Structure formats: structure tokens, C-alpha cells
Amino acid sequence: MTYDIDQDIIDRVTGLAPGSVTHTLRHQCAKVVEATQGSYDALFSPTLDGLTLIERLLVALYASRFGTLTGACCLLSRRTGRA
């Protein structure tokens, strides 16, 4: 799978705009950015065997509620249809 900067989950959840100081700083280390996105893509791929996609999304939603990940909670809620 090829990394697509326009689909970066962290940029989308946090609202990082291309060209902003934080976005630019975060993308200085492409290996980390690509690995983070790669992990998300692998964990939430609809083709992954085992738990269904909705089950994986619900586990992630449950876990994200223990922290201050309000952006992640909103994204996961929308993806599970529980917004």
C-alpha cells in the first residue's frame, strides 16, 4: 500500500492543515508518519481476517474513550455508525 498524504489519519483527526507549522514539523520524519498510517491501514483494513471491521472499530472506540482522544472518538463513532 502506498502512503497518501491526503488520507493521513492523524492529520485528519487533529485537523493539521498542510503548510502549518505543526504539520510541517510532523512530516519532517516521513518514516514515522508512514508507519503510523500503515499501522492504521493494516488494523482497519476490511480484508483483515479474524475480527470484523466493525468489531475492530468498536474496540478502538472503546479504548480511545479512556484518554483525551476526542478526535479519534468522533472518527471511530462515525465509522461505526454510532455518532
**Same domain flag for 29 and 58:** no
**Is residue 60 domain-resident?**
yes
What's residue 18's pLDDT? 92
Number of domains present in the structure of the chain? 2
CA distance 12 to 17: 9
Tell me the Ramachandran region of residue 79: left when phi exceeds 0, alpha when psi lies from -120 to 50, beta otherwise: alpha
Specify if 13 maps to a domain.
yes
Least confident of 3-12, 15-24, 52-61, 64-73: 64-73
Q: What is the mean pLDDT of residues 13-29?
A: 90
Residue 16 resides in a domain: yes
Q: Does 24 lie in the same domain as 53?
A: no
Note whether residue 1 is domain-resident: no
pLDDT tens for residues 30-68? 888 888 888 888 888 878 888 888 888 887 777 766 666
* Whole-model pTM over 0.85: no
**Residue 2: inside a domain, yes or no?**
no
C-alpha pair distances (Å), 18 with each of 6, 14, 36, 51: 9, 12, 17, 34
Domain span holding position 78: 49-83
